[in-house]
Structure formats: C-alpha cells, structure tokens
Amino acid sequence: MLVRTLFALLVCVLVQLATADNNDPRSLVGTWSSGSGAVLTGQGPNGTSFYNPMKRQFSVPPTAGYSYSFTEDNKFETAQFFYQSNPSQPHCFNATLLWQHGTYKVDGNTLTMTPYKGDGAVQSMGECLQPQVRLDYFSQVEFMRNWTTFVETDPVFFPGVKSVYGLQMYKSNGIPVPKMYLQFRPPQMMPTQAIFKQVIGAPDA
C-alpha cells in the first residue's frame, strides 16, 4: 500500500514538472519555423532575409510557412507566407507575405504579441487582384489562447534526427497555428527595437 502511494505521488510530481516545463516562458526563446523551415525570421548567414524593413521589401520563399522568434527580454518577430484559395474561381488563389515585430507577454498559458506600429508590412499577390501585387503597412496584435513546447520524436522534416523541440500555439478562436520546430537558439532576428515611427495618415492594413 505504501509503495503504491509513493508511486502515485511520484507520478503526480513528474506530471506537474512536465507541465511546468512545457509552459515555461524560457522555453519559448529561439527561432521556430514550420514545415521544411523555408520561412525564417531575421537575416540568414548569406545576408538574405524574408523581409528587409529598411527597403520595405519581401523575398518570396520557395514554400509557404510560419516562423516566430522570441527573446529572453520579451521581444518577438514573426514571418508568415500563406496561400488563400477561392472555391468559386479555382484559378484565383492569393499569396500573402506578412512580417512584424514588437514585444510579447506570457500570462499563464496565454501569449500576447504587440507589434511596433509603423514597422510591420503585408504583401498580397494574385492574378485576380487589382493590382496583382500590393504592399501595405501592417500592425495587428496576436493573441494565443494556449501554447506549449514539446519534444517531437518523429520529425518528418529532419531526416536522420531522432528528436527536435517543437512549439504548438493556438489562436484566440482555438485554431492551431502550424506546428513549428526550433531552428536557432539564441534566436535569429532583425533589430528588436522599433525601426520607424508611425506616421499619421500613412496607409494602414
């Protein structure tokens, strides 16, 4: 009886520790990317970047994906490239590239990312759009109702690797953000301070 009681207590302690680790804000630190990792925040070693905030220019990656980076001092950056289809007009699909950075706050299982106004950008592309390519300013708070880090023991996109760290976030409506995997720690990011000031009367997405 005593052995069973001690075993039950040990299991409870291990579960609590695992849960704490999975939602420890320190586990967020790093650069995360979905899929094959084609979409990444920051600037790569060869000088290329998903978005150049000084030139306000996107570079289209070979595949779609999501990337988020977090620092220890509560700064974040995100790069997103996704497609949107039109069922009534199958040939009219749109592609969107989105970038912003700012500060974040963890409150229990929730995560709130507040961008710097004036820095973010979104570019829409599509044959049926007028114009076919459009670049706008972008600033939108992102709220994740839940998030967790974990160890992926069967990483499809990492041949020859037995396990990788993963990040799963859920939007405010409960829809999961594509599962992401740790690419860099410390994170690969653009400057973590505001680059531009918001200009009154500037176009806003």
- Residue 6, domain member (yes or no): no
- Sequence-distant (6+) residues with CB within 8 A of 151 are 163, 164, 165, 166
The owner of tokens 């599509």 is 126
- Residue 42, domain member (yes or no): yes
- Residue 195, domain member (yes or no): no
Share in percent of the chain as helix, strand, coil (round to 5): 10, 40, 50
pLDDT band, very low/low/confident/very high, at 4 (cuts 50, 70, 90):
very low
pLDDT in tens, 20-72: 457 899 999 999 999 999 999 999 878 889 999 999 999 999 999 999 999 99
Q: Residue 134 sits in which domain range?
A: 26-184
- Residue 128, domain member (yes or no): yes
Distance between CA atoms of 88 and 202, rounded to whole angstroms?
A: 34
